[in-house]
Amino acid sequence: MLHIVVGAGRRGVASVAVIVVAVACVQAMATPQFVELGPTPSGTGSFATAMSADGGVVIGHAEVRNSRGVAVWRPWRWSATEGYELLDSVPESQWLQPLPQFPMPEDLLHFTSHVSRDGSTIAGAIIDNSAFFAGGFVWDRAAGTRVLDTPMSTSGEGFVAVRDMNDDGSVIVAQRGESELIRWTRQTGVQTVASPFGTRLPSVLQIDQAGGIIAAAQGGASGPATRWTPGGGEESLGAAFFPGLMSGDGSVIAGTTNLPNTLGVPSNVMVWHASGGLTTISPLGGHTHIGTNLMDASGRVLFGTSFSISEFGPIADPVTFIWTPESGATDFQHLLSSQGLQLPAGSRLYSVTGISDDLTSISGSAYYPALDVYRSFVISNFVIPAPASAACVVVMGIVAARRRRLGA
């Protein structure tokens, strides 16, 4: 228990200020807590993919064996109150099978990608084992897992990629194939919507509660990336890159200058701020490539991976980094260690894919090389690095000095 005695007058006011900052510093220096999510049903792999706004819900997908002994990926949901739950596949009655070779629903691979801010709704992609056919799915407690959309195509048009979901999951905007945007609602199902870029599709976008697009971005290697907003139309972002992440209001956009598998051409991450132009993040530790995984809703924090590749695949160990405008890019596992958290023995950080709005809870996946498995986790009590930490050093020095005087 903390007992505080405050003096009177000006010294009392000063003491209150010091105490308030000191308490905040003590809270900020609390050791992060690591919780593994599971169990992994088949012991082969589990990947966390997103987190709700309050950090209370994490979603992902895990490899399991179905009733026919086929290895498939199933969606799962974890909450601080309900624990870990493996979710069902889409029901056979909803899975459209225009060709005999299409798989049975229980053989489908379910890959989660989005959770609503309130944690009530999950969405992602469904494909078969040969990647021959793909669609989308959505889950909520009332209706369970169901088909979002199943394009009737056997070509590259047969995929659905969720782009954004509103706060309660009642509206989803997704890309269908290479030429269409669709909007799904619980009331109306799937409808085609116009792209804000005309014949080009956005690579990232944000929607409001009603499902209207409030910001979108697209780009590539051949010309400047662009952003679209309802009030400003299309504007250049000042550099050629592939936008992949966007803040909740569309004011911050991040992406890579080259696709992750581009050999012989080093890549950088570009971060565009509506109020401050472009920032370049280079690979860490002599790596040749860098990619982005996650941006928080405010656009202040970015997570990604720094790595090197050859024609035979990745070389050297990849590094998960955290970036903020104030502190730049930092090895995230080293940062956790500096805050007193060591990952489980025999594991290393693989990815960070979810962060709460208050920036204190994080979800992701760790890799266990000796077991060759991936397992999901939640980290709580995390502290984002910031220059404000210098105030803690000063305040704790004042507190220590006072203790020495009192003890003299």
**How many Å is the maximal CA-CA distance in the chain?**
87
The type of residue at 226 is T
Judge: domain 198-205+213-342, CATH 1.20.120.1200: no
How confident is the prediction for the chain on average, in pLDDT? 82
- pLDDT greater than 90 at residue 92: no
Token pair recorded at residue 231? 């009030």
CA gap 322, 27 in Å, rounded: 21
3-state secondary structure (DSSP) of residue 38: coil
* 231, pLDDT greater than 80: yes
335-364 burial code (b ≥16 CB/10 A, e <16): bbeebebebeeebebbbbbbbbbebbbbbb
Supply the angle between the helices 389-407 and 9-28 in degrees, to the nearest 10.
Answer: 120
pLDDT in tens, 313-366: 656 678 999 999 999 999 999 999 999 999 999 999 999 999 999 999 999 999
Beta-sheet pairing, 121-127 with 134-140: antiparallel
Confidence of residue 150 (pLDDT cuts 50, 70, 90): low
CA dist., res. 278 & res. 270, Å (int): 7
How far from the centroid of its chain's Cα atoms is residue 369's Cα?
Answer: 23
Q: What is the pLDDT of residue 30?
A: 75
Mean pLDDT, residues 217-223 taken together: 89
Average pLDDT, stretch 212-220? 96
For the cut 60, the answer to whether the pLDDT of residue 5 exceeds it is no
Looking at per-residue pLDDT, the higher value among 336 and 15 belongs to: 336
pLDDT of residue 192: 92
User: Sheet holding 373-380: strands in order across?
Assistant: 33-37, 373-380, 362-368, 348-355
- Kindly report the pTM of this predicted structure: 0.84
Residue by residue, DSSP assigns 329-383 as EEEHHHHHHHTT--PPTT-EEEEEEEE-TTS--EEEEEEETTTTEEEEEEEES--
Residue 178 has pLDDT above 90, yes or no: no
Rounded CA-CA distance 132/128 in Å is 6
Q: What are phi and psi of 181, to 5 degrees?
A: -110, 140
- Select from 366, 311, 329 the least CA-distant residue to 344: 366
- pLDDT of 389 reads 47
The whole-number pLDDT of residue 385 equals 79
> How far apart, in Å, are the Cα atoms of 114 and each of 77, 125, 162, 363, 391?
11, 10, 7, 13, 37
Q: CA–CA separation, 128 vs 103, rounded Å? A: 6
Other CB atoms within 10 A of residue 212 CB: 14
* 153-175: average pLDDT: 81
Instruction: Locate 387 and state its tokens.
Output: 């220059």
On the question of pLDDT at 97 being above 70, the answer is no
Check residues 98 and 271 and name the one with the higher pLDDT.
Answer: 271
Domain boundaries, the chain: 1-29+389-408, 198-205+213-342
The pLDDT score that the predictor gives to residue 313 is 61
Single-letter amino acid, residue 96:
L
How far apart, in Å, do the first and last CA atoms of the chain sit? 25
Of 98 and 79, the structure prediction assigns the larger pLDDT to 79
Q: How far is CA 380 from the centre of its chain?
A: 16
Residue 78 tokens read as 């974890």
pLDDT at 11 over 70: no
What is the percentage of the chain residues whose pLDDT exceeds 90? 57
The whole-number pLDDT of residue 24 equals 44
Q: What average pLDDT does this structure show over 270-294?
A: 92
In whole angstroms, what is the distance from residue 26 CA to residue 39 CA? 34
99-133 pLDDT tens trace: 445 556 667 889 999 999 999 999 999 887 665 56
